[in-house]
Structure 1
Amino acid sequence: MRITKEYGERKNEILDAAEKLFLTKGYEKCTVNDILKEVDIAKGTLYHYFKSKEDILDAIVWRYKDMVIRRTEKILKIDNISPTERLMRTFMAMQITNQIDNDIINNLHKTENALLHQKILNQIVTAMAPVLAGIIQEGIEKKIWNCRYPLQYMQVFLAASLTLTDEGIFEMDADSQMKVMTALISLLEKMLDVPEDYFAQLFMQNRGQM
């Protein structure tokens, strides 16, 4: 008897299979036929859900972005916390490596998966910079800090931090990683025009949760 699956269930099944194949074979080497065989469906069925292989890739990237967005939305809804605490919690919520299987992370860092990796970083910066800028604006209004270009500064900060702290892009020893983190925190303090070590101590206190 033919088993009929719900739309969302089938769509996620295709995405799960495609993500596995993209990460193990590489996006360029993986073909639509590979995905069809993995899921055991006809080409017409796949195109009912996705227009192309690139469309599937974009949907996979969206899932990673959605993971971050869902976590940060909960923080934005919390009342009675300071902009500083909201900003710190949001930065911590963006650390999703502990939510992803190590094999996926390792495969994501392979050269053949550069496109997927790049798209994920791009989407996270695009989605999260306005969220962080909103928190920055809240702090400005409450006179906690000062910032001339909240959105643009957060775009710069995210692009720099996500790239420089990504072991798949830059290989560094522990000492170099610590120096980069210290420099990034110092940069954030300058962007928000707060005293030196304003964020440094907070980051160190919360490091175990990040």
Structure 2
Amino acid sequence: MNRIVKNYEERRNEILDAAESLFYSKGFEACTVNDILKTVGIAKGTFYHYFPSKEAAMDGVIARNVDKIIDRVQATIEKAAGDPNEKLMNAFLAMRVDDPAAHHMLEDMHQPANALLHQKSLKQLIQSLSPILADVVQEGIDQKIWRCSHPLQCMQIFLAAALSLTDEGIFEMDADSQTLIMIALIGTLEKMLGVPENEFLKQYSAHWATE
């Protein structure tokens, strides 16, 4: 029987696929390295060649998922060349989760057993997305469209509020409450950037109506 040899990235992603599925289904704390080994069909030494610990595998899972969101956000920003308003709107819309499989994953992440995974994912999203959005804000400042003294810090504050308040695993809200939160968040963003009241809200509402 021939031994199957896989390249580094292929094997690493195979381990991450198994780890991600097990973390969400069993919970990070309950999942063991042995569970991952059995699922992938590898020896313990192979696992530790790629990851020094189960925690490192979790970081790899988070980084991979955040990278997908970052790629999506950056791709939509690039489509709106020269228009900071359109770039910012595209970036926020690209953060939405529309895939049913991803929704199921989020439900599993919200389980109490995955609190650490959930917390670290939010932290990584804020750290990774803030500089990207701050660059867009700086474009608007340079073009004298917006006014903002601290673009990076303002985007960190906005993302921390937005990602937390719209996270159903943290706050349970009915549809009306969710709508009011979104209106308040957009109003906060307008104030951060010195935009006239309801200017962003009109733009985003018009765009969402066509979705």
The question of a shared fold, defined as TM-score above 0.5 by the shorter chain, is answered with yes
Following superposition, the deviation at residue 76 of structure 1 comes to 4.1
Following superposition, the deviation at residue 135 of structure 1 comes to 0.5
Residue 39 of structure 1 corresponds to which residue in structure 2?
Answer: 40
- Partner of 1:77, secondary structure, is helix
CA distance in 2, matches of 1:80, 1:39: 44
- Partner of 1:12, secondary structure, is helix
Q: TM-score, normalised by structure 2?
A: 0.94
After superposition, the CA RMSD in angstroms is 1.6
CA distance in 1, matches of 2:6, 2:19: 18
Residue 23 of structure 2 corresponds to which residue in structure 1?
Answer: 22
Counterparts of 1:145-184 in structure 2, within 5 Å, are 145-184=146-185
Asked whether the 8 Å contact 2:164–2:170 carries over to 1, the reply is yes
Q: TM-score, normalised by structure 1?
A: 0.94
Q: Is structure 2 residue 5 aligned with structure 1 residue 4?
A: yes
Asked whether the 8 Å contact 2:77–2:90 carries over to 1, the reply is no
CA distance in 2, matches of 1:205, 1:94: 18
Residue 133 of structure 2 corresponds to which residue in structure 1?
Answer: 132
Question: Which structure exhibits the higher relative contact order, with contacts defined as CA atoms closer than 8 Å and separated by 6 or more residues?
Answer: 1
CA distance in 1, matches of 2:81, 2:182: 29
Amino acid at match of 2:186: I
Against the structure 1 CA distance between its residues 145 and 99, is the aligned structure 2 distance closer, same or farther, given a 3 Å change threshold? farther
Amino acid at match of 1:24: S
CA distance in 2, matches of 1:186, 1:65: 26
Per-residue displacement from partner, 1:69-126 (whole Å, max 9, x unpaired)?
Answer: 1112223434644110011111111223537433212101111111111111111100
Following superposition, the deviation at residue 208 of structure 1 comes to 5.4
CA distance in 1, matches of 2:168, 2:17: 24
Per-residue displacement from partner, 1:167-197 (whole Å, max 9, x unpaired)?
Answer: 1110001111111111101100000011100
Against the structure 1 CA distance between its residues 208 and 110, is the aligned structure 2 distance closer, same or farther, given a 3 Å change threshold? farther
Per-residue displacement from partner, 1:23-78 (whole Å, max 9, x unpaired)?
Answer: 11111111111111111110001111111101100000001110111112223434
Gaps of 5+ in 1: none
CA distance in 1, matches of 2:85, 2:52: 43
Q: Is structure 2 residue 52 aligned with structure 1 residue 51?
A: yes
- Partner of 1:125, secondary structure, is helix
Amino acid at match of 2:55: E
- Partner of 1:51, secondary structure, is coil
Following superposition, the deviation at residue 209 of structure 1 comes to 7.3
Counterparts of 1:46-195 in structure 2, within 5 Å, are 46-78=47-79, 80-98=81-99, 100-195=101-196
Amino acid at match of 1:40: G
CA distance in 2, matches of 1:121, 1:140: 27
CA distance in 2, matches of 1:142, 1:81: 10
Against the structure 1 CA distance between its residues 195 and 152, is the aligned structure 2 distance closer, same or farther, given a 3 Å change threshold? same
- Partner of 1:101, secondary structure, is helix
Against the structure 1 CA distance between its residues 27 and 41, is the aligned structure 2 distance closer, same or farther, given a 3 Å change threshold? same
